[in-house]
Amino acid sequence: MRMRSGRGRGWRLAAVLTVSLGLTPATAIAAGTAGALDSGFGSGGVVVTNDGSGWPAAALQSSGKIVVGGTEQVPTSDGGSGTGWLVQRLDTDGSLDTGFGSSGEVRLFGPTAELRATDSLRALAVDGSDRILAVGSGSFEVTTGKGKRQTTSLVRRFTVVRLTSGGALDSSFGNGGVVVIDLSDVTGGSGRGESVHVLPSGDILVAGRAFDVAGQSSGGGKGKKGGGSSTSSDAIALVKLTASGALDTSFGAGGITIHDASTGDDEPWPGALGVQSTGRIVVGSVARDIDEQWVLTAYDSDGTVDETFGRVVVAHAYLRGFAIDASDRILGCGYAVASAGDYGFVLTRFTSDGATDTGFGSGGTVSLALSENSEGGPVLIESDGDIVAGLNIIGTNGEWRAQPIRVDSDGVLDSGFGTGGFGDVLEGSGEFYGLFAPGLIDPNGDIVLCGARQDSTSADWLVARYCGS
């Protein structure tokens, strides 16, 4: 496994920028009050890093420092580009913490001078020792043939990495800090981790995608192969590792459950993995059957599909955020299609057993009366049970703006948050702002949301901190 330096090969060093974003909320929110951007973080509550591609994952260490990580574009010597993993740590004021990794950063995988890689980091978590778990897909060199027919290529694999609290590869985990999940008997080996959850025991759950699985079935069961009608599609891969990175052979089939939750491709959404107090595991995914739909699937603690929970489907909808509350109820946030070309924010709560919780919002769902198309983003549950969700609004001019909203435990907009339940807006002329990644509640109760900022010249990671209660 390759660790990449930010120097010596022409890699562009990331920098945490302090910029003026021209934030113009519809109604000014008093500084320091709930829903206002936190002026003590970055520039006006916002940090932008200029090495990112897409949006970052985030995790919180016990010190309150924020670890962000994702995929970065990396130029290659032939004038092209590939992608690799980038992890950074921000201090509590939003500045780059130069005591982490190499000058605040850790780079993993990515292209070499000869080989182009398309690696992606999808999710982060921090364990009880402040070690950092990162999951996604990494590329590994494979040599085949002999003599003049010998060739070397990069093969993409479902990958889990653990870093020490300070950003070094953790040699006590897997092979030098890296675990590669072998899916070769069902996919030829190709897959990608999408979510990671650390159990109280220190064991690790990872949910991800197994690409192009043959012989899968809708509603398949325990093990690497389900029964029933045959199809070929992407499926859910649920993996359990011990704290040392070994597959837990008491889980699924040799530590792995492959499950096709729909008749089309199943795409677990980054961060959509949680464990209820009973030990039941819930995975949220987007199923691409005839159209997009949410799917919630539950598994027993041994990796068996929990048929008592069933398969929860929200048709014509796309999942963007996921959380499980203290009562084991499940929250999903995203958007639902109302008619051709029109779609809107939805936040739905389900009971612990997967039934729609009709006591929440209107018939189980909070929707917003907006004149423009909108999408839901990450969802967070505060210590008092209030719920924060990301809102992305697509303007009629094609520009995106983003902001948090807060509702109480009944699904009613919280008038004590921002303006009528809506927090400060992230927006700018000719720019795109979106909140997509799972968010955080820091030790002070403040809200950290991650996403993307894009204009005609750059696409950047965005980290914003809002004042909590």
pLDDT, tens digit, 9 for 90 and up, residues 177-227: 999 998 877 666 688 889 999 999 999 999 998 887 765 443 334 344 343
Is a pLDDT exceeding 70 seen at residue 366?
Answer: yes
Average pLDDT, the chain: 84
Mean pLDDT of 115-130: 86
pLDDT tens digits for range 65-92? 999 999 888 777 777 777 889 999 999 9
Q: What is the DSSP-derived secondary structure letter of residue 61?
A: -
The continuous run of DSSP H or E covering 268 comes out as strand 265-275
CA–CA gap between residue 138 and residue 144 (Å, rounded): 19
Query: Which sign, positive or negative, has the C-alpha torsion 182, 187, 191, 197?
Result: negative
What digits encode the pLDDT tens for the residues 270-304?
A: 889 999 999 999 999 887 765 678 889 999 999 99
Which pLDDT does position 396 carry in this prediction? 81
Q: Per-residue b/e over 5-36, b at no fewer than 16 CB within 10 Å?
A: ebeeeebeebebeeeebebebeeebeeeebbb
Range with the poorest average pLDDT among 132-136, 344-348, 408-412, 429-433: 429-433
Q: How many CB atoms lie within 10 A of CB 225?
A: 16
Q: How far apart are CA 219 and CA 57, in angstroms?
A: 30
| C-alpha torsion 171→176→177→180, nearest 10 | -150
Instruction: Report phi then psi at 418, rounded to 5.
Output: 60, -130
DSSP element (H, E) containing 208: strand 204-216
Residue 37 has a pLDDT of 96
Cα distance between residue 74 and residue 97, in whole Å = 22
Percent of the chain, pLDDT > 90?
A: 55
Are the beta carbons of 348 and 364 closer than 8 angstroms? yes
Comparison of pLDDT for 1 and 260, the residue scoring more: 260
| pTM beyond 0.75 | yes
Say how far apart CA 345 and CA 356 lie, in whole Å: 17
